[in-house]
Amino acid sequence: MAINENLCSFFSFLTGTVMAKFGSIDYPHNRYNPLLDEWILVCPHRSKRPWMGKIEKKEDHQNQSNETAAGEKLNALSPGGVRANGIQNPLYNSTYVFDNDFPALIDTDCPDNLNIYNNDGNQLFRVQPARGRCRVMCFHPSSRLSLPLMSIDEILAVINAWIGELLKLGPIYRWVQIFENKGAIMGCSNPHPHCQIWASHFLPNIPRKKDQQQRNYFEKYGRAMLWDYVQKELSNEERIVLKNEHWLALVPFWATWPFETMLLPYHRSIQRLNDINEMEKKSLASIMKGLLTIYDNLFEISFPYSMGWHGAPTGPEYFDSKQPHWILHAVYYPPLLRSATIKKFMVGYELCAQSQRDITPEKAAEILRQQNPNKHYKI
Ligand code: H2U
């Protein structure tokens, strides 16, 4: 029964006006992601396939979302909450940032020469030290509020706290990854609204690739890749979900996840979060609220995703230098596909060969645009 309901609602989603308007690319094709130098296989006709696989429980999202009574109980991230190591949080009334009690990266004196695996200099067994610092940021004192349910000023406080962390960690670390895992389906371990910050002395794979690709483009054309990309998107608009005076939320041409979006500035070239002015911060808070409200309204759940900020790399040599090949952007990767209960799995062909998606980015953008960014389904 649940399977049929899900299929029916998804078919009606994709048929009618949406299908008629964007029915032109209805055959399999590969799309290029210039930021990562990768191809994505797009198979729109596959949206029609029956689903006999895993159906997530809708209540799972709700139980693990931060809006239930369960989430209200004092937990380790709440004001006054006692953390796993016995430390009690202060009674904070806005954002609160602390060093992760279980950090993946630490700044201890790991030896530079880790040659136990390749003491003959063999290139097939390379090891490098990995040092860094991990932080946790609580967005709000209430466990019941996710970002789209917060006020603009409360989201602004989160943006300011992100910038504060970047200003503190950026001069020291080569990369400062701010990311939010939302929902248990994305591996989030705590329902209190929060994100993490992992700062490392090395440039991780994805930013390293993005840095190289954008640099190559800049050297060839004398303009930032994402600047050119955004101007093209503005002239067409079919992948744009939301726009305000400074920011654009769109489903990238090369999106991999069904309702993946990218948030980026379009009025001027901005390299990093700490480059944005007060007006831009406020309009960023506003577009974040709108985009996340759209996400929640789509399946009427607290929408799960992993999001992260990507801006010009940092570190002692680079923090104060201009890196005009970069444009700041946030990426949102939600796992849900057909409904609140059907998840897209990146397995099989995706793991063994290449990322693949069914619904086209244009259809995904159209579906997201149909949601009201100004009214959350819960309010
Ligand atoms: P996630 O929900 O994305 O897993 O992030 C929660 C982080 O909070 C996680 O990295 C940390 C976990 O290590 N944490 C503490 O540092 N102390 C605690 O007492 C609970 C959770």
229-267 pLDDT, tens digit each:
999 999 989 999 999 999 999 999 999 999 999 999 999
pTM (2 d.p.): 0.90
In the residue annotation, 376 being an active-site residue is answered as no
Q: Is 64 in the pocket of ligand 1 (CB under 6 A)?
A: no
Could you report the per-residue pLDDT of 262-305, keeping only the tens digit for each? 999 999 999 999 999 999 999 999 999 999 999 999 999 999 99
288 burial type by CB count under 10 A (0-12 exposed, 13-18 middle, 19+ buried):
buried
Do 239 and 21 meet the contact criterion of CB atoms below 8 Å apart? no
Class of domain 3-8+28-44+204-369: alpha beta
367 Cα: distance to centroid of ligand 1 (angstroms): 34
Beta bridge partners of 39: 32
3-state helix, strand, coil in the chain (%, to 5): 35, 20, 50
Could you report the per-residue pLDDT of 182-207, keeping only the tens digit for each? 998 888 889 999 999 999 999 999 99
- Tell me how far apart the alpha carbons of residues 262 and 268 are, in angstroms, rounded to a whole number: 16
**Architecture of the domain whose range is 96-200:** 2-Layer Sandwich (3.30)
- Tell whether the model's pLDDT for residue 220 goes beyond 90: yes
328 versus 111: the higher-pLDDT residue is: 328
Residue 122 pLDDT = 78
Domain ranges across the chain: 3-8+28-44+204-369, 96-200
Domains 3-8+28-44+204-369 and 96-200 share a fold: yes
Do 44 and 361 meet the contact criterion of CB atoms below 8 Å apart? no
Q: Is 188 in the pocket of ligand 1 (CB under 6 A)?
A: yes
Extract the tokens encoding 287.
Answer: 């577009």
Residue 324 pLDDT = 97
172 Cα: distance to centroid of ligand 1 (angstroms): 23
- pLDDT class of 5 with cuts at 50, 70, 90: very low
